[in-house]
Chains A and B, each alone.
Chain A
Amino acid sequence: MATTEIAPTGSAPSAERTPVVNDFSIQVATANGSGSQSANTILLRSIFQMGVPVSGKNLFPSNIAGLPTWYTIRASKKGYIARKKEIDFVVAMNPETGREDVFNLSSGAAVLYDEPLKLSELRSDLIFYSVPFDKLVAAVCPEAKLRKLVKNMIYVGVMAQLLNIDMAEVEKALRKQFAKKLKAADLNWNAAKAGYDYAHASLTKCDPFTVERMDKTHGMIIVDGNSAAAMGCMFAGVTVVTWYPITPSSSLVESLIDYMKAYRVGPDGKATFAIVQAEDELAAIGMVLGAGWAGARSMTATAGPGISLMAEFAGLGYYVEVPGVIWDIQRVGPSTGLPTRTSQGDIEFVAKLSHGDTFHPMLIPSTASECFSMATEAFNLAEHLQTPVFVMSDLDLGMNNWMSEPFEYPKEPIKRGKILSKEDLDRLGGFNRYKDVDGDGIGYRTLPGIDHPQGAWFARGSGHNEKGQYSERPDDYKNNLDRLRRKFENARTLVPKPEVVRDESNDIGIIAYGTSHHALVEALDQLKDDHGVHADYLRLRAFPFTPEVHDFIASHPRVYVIDQNRDGQMLNLLKLDIAPEHVVRLRSVRHYNGLPIDGRSVTDDIISQESK
């Protein structure tokens, strides 16, 4: 019995179409908590193992179980790993969303669905594959209560057969996924095989999408940004980690806990770190600053609502001049917002987080690899500048799976900044904590516990003079604040420089940062190939802005700034920083619907603004 249902009327697509090789998006629609994550990861890895560049994005609800969730796998022979708006193949497992999932598709797309959903009746311009999942799973999984979980592995097998994915790769990915659970691995492997066999026997391939082996993923890894950041922090020598659980940052610390337990236990069998779950974000950053003051490399990870709570302490850290690293895995605000969706909505707030005159350095990773490398940069910078440093990741980067080159071992040693030792004090006879001895705005500090009668200094959030003594004198206050400004100016020369890709364009410059980078890579090709528009591209990697940023704007009459927020937050920071006559050069592209930005939206927006 052939269950492939060619639409009864209209122009049904046929297998005669030119095959589409290694260039499509699959969307798997399931219910949250149904165990589809393992199945999706295995499908993603199987394609990756065949040498085809992939990316995986999880669109999930703020819910434990039951609400709809979608996972998108994009295969791209050109190596594009941004979100692609168009879906080519839907795996419809969720009765709640089946209709919508089908109606959202463009003509010619394919749908694999659970037989009882009867989705093929809905449209005549799609390709439908019906699979009796319940019947198939019952045959391979005698234990009824496990069937809900194992059912998902059936579609992995079906998709492997339809897309020509090597089942040996599926098995390899599956055994890796269930490495510590042999019984679960066997059960799931049988389910995948059942799906494959069913498709082989009963489905007729009618869609054009197919996977062919390439060699573009050799040696590469698949990792989420939060795990990459966790590894980065471990190799950066973090010693005190404090946190309060909040989506989407929790997985960073949870991953860090696992890594530290595995690799950061000393020769005496004892931990070379402390990880503490605090009572709230106020306490988390308070502990970070207390630890930083006492000499630890300390950090926390949070998201928007936590950042709001940390504002007062951020000002204290800035003013008392204590190092600390804060990872902000940005989600959608304001308020609770959309806790499981992505944005770059905290940029402007964090830049000046606190009351009073304040500035904070921000490092902005675009890739998993930068989540790793910027950890060491952030800690070294925080200790060099003696100030809190924020690393501005986002949910898309932090929680999704990214293909990446393996990480490079940190080149920079662990640098502790200007810390005076007992011997230094013997030589100097004493020190003034906030005196600008070197002209870079950075004073010398001592760590509590130093065995010297002149070693102590008084850290206070109230007004203080060069010696750290309480002072309300106008000149003391102003001198101190001016020195802090000098320190921030000095930071321009210390933060990671932008990455500039020139296409010999004298007209158009594009500035993007964070995860927008991946959409930009694709948009630049689209602008060139589809519209003949050439643009130079600057990828910002830090705040404060380095001289390269000013030069880039000065050398392009039109500069598009890409923000994943409503208000053009990076655009606003740039406007405050550049020469007034250059402000008119800045144009804005804004994406803020909670989904990761895609290349096509950027291209269309720029083309539309160019034609005005």
Chain B
Amino acid sequence: MAATATTQPKTNHIGLTVLDYRGSKTTLCAGCGHNAISERIIDAFYEMGMQPERVIKLSGIGCSSKSPAYFMGRSHSFNSVHGRMPSVTTGAVLANSRLVALGVSGDGDTASIGIGQFVHLMRRNLPVIYIIEDNGVYGLTKGQFSATADVGSKLKTGVINDLPPIDTCALAISLGATFVGRSFSGDKRQLHAMLKAALAHRGTVMIDVVSPCVTFNDHEGSTKSYKFMKDHEEPLHEINFVPRFAEIDVDYDPGSVVNVTMHDGSSLRLHKIEEDYDPTNKIGAIKRIMESQEAEEVLTGVLYVNTQAPNFLEMLDMTDAPLATLPERLIRPSREVLEECMEALR
């Protein structure tokens, strides 16, 4: 450490520096979109002043699922089995409802082997932030197509994909997820704002982030390359997130801005690029996603948000204290209860 340092390092409102949100050094390829997403997570959690010890990071198997090791080393993490992150996350959140769960998955981990658990997580609206780092290929096994690859997209080997892609956003919206977005690892500003808003939501947040694979899917003919995204990204709005602890608020024109008040009182402001897009309209959202597919565009932004629907924890009506730490007197009934149970069987 430099002995001559004269300025205090910059801290967030809970007194932590951005270094407190970093993890181990990445082992992913240089230029991998996933590394950019890790950086956005670090920035967003830092800026929001999220206590790292309250956060749990969960993942399945694949390049994306390795990435939780590369950010927020002060948070517990569980790198589980392929396609099963949703169930492990569900169990952990049931055990301790005060934890903030961040699930990181990939397109293979989610849309192929894990599609069953993915759809059931979405329909439970469990409080979790679910990020798909979506590159359209299996990287660790050297570049086979995944189920989010577009029709007509081409592998390096020349193989053309002829099966339709699974649109994870349309799926998530139709199933009951209450905060659904799509972004691009190269769109620093948009992803950063979206992640901050995600932290203010109490329900399932599903963000599909197109994240190019520089080794296996960043060439001419790929629809998940940096170049393709630069040419075809179609943002719905500019996102501005105003946290509840922000002191300065800015006036906005209600005609050009959609304002969504989040659970914690913060504001998600979507500055309209598309005049008539309403992110609270489920049917409209799915329709617009399908139209963009037809037009070979990648629609990005907060596609759908619903702050009213009850989440899974509310439905279970559990005691406020985490189940994990309840004392024996609350989880083991008395001798009298046992006697009552026995008497009923005599």
Q: Which residues of A contact B (CB under 8 A)?
A: 219-223, 231, 234-240, 242, 259, 263-264, 266, 268, 270-274, 276, 278-280, 282-298, 312-313, 316, 320, 406-407, 409-410, 413-414, 446-453, 455-462, 469-470
Contact = CB atoms under 8 A, between A and B. Distances in A.
Interface string B63-103: 00000010001111111110010111111111110110000
Given A279-B120, A283-B117, A459-B77, A235 B332 contact: yes
B331 A294 contact: no
Given A286-B88, A287-B88, A470-B69, 7 more contacts: A219-B346, A286-B87, A295-B324, A316-B81, A453-B74, A459-B79, A469-B24
A222 B333 contact: no
B116 A313 contact: no
A448 B93 CA distance: 10
Interface stretch (B216-224, B248-256, B334-342): B334-342
B295 interface: no
B53 A296 contact: no
A452 B75 CA distance: 10
Contacts of A282: 84, 87, 116-117
B331 A295 contact: no
B231 interface: no
Contacts of A316: 80-81
Nearest to B76: A448
Chain B CB within 10 A, most for which of A238, A259, A446, A458: A458
Nearest to A217: B346
Contacts of B96: 294-296, 447-449
Contact of A287 (B24, B75, B90): B90
Contact of A239 (B75, B89, B323): B323
12 contacts: A268-B320, A276-B94, A283-B90, A283-B116, A287-B90, A287-B94, A290-B58, A290-B80, A294-B99, A406-B342, A448-B56, A450-B53
B325 interface: yes
Given A279-B117, A406-B342, A450-B53, A239 B326 contact: yes
A448 B55 CA distance: 8
Nearest to A456: B76
B87 A410 contact: no
Contacts of B316: 271, 274, 276
B265 interface: no
B247 interface: no
A460 B58 CA distance: 10
A274 B94 contact: yes
A518 B207 CA distance: 57
A289 B91 contact: yes
B88 to A, nearest CB: 4
Given A283-B86, A407-B338, A294 B95 contact: yes
Given A271-B316, A456-B75, A294 B324 contact: yes
A79 B204 CA distance: 57
B77 A271 contact: no
Contacts of A448: 56, 75-76, 92, 96, 99
B91 A286 contact: yes
Given A221-B346, A462-B79, A447 B87 contact: no
Contacts of B325: 295, 447
B227 interface: no
Contacts of A274: 94, 316, 318, 323
B335 A239 contact: no
A177 B333 CA distance: 26
B86 to A, nearest CB: 7
A263 B337 contact: yes
A371 to B, nearest CB: 13
Interface string B313-327: 000111110111110
B54 interface: yes
A231 to B, nearest CB: 6
A317 to B, nearest CB: 10
B333 A263 contact: yes
B345 A223 contact: yes
A268 B319 contact: yes
B328 interface: yes
A270 B319 contact: yes
Contacts of A279: 116-117, 120
A192 B261 CA distance: 66
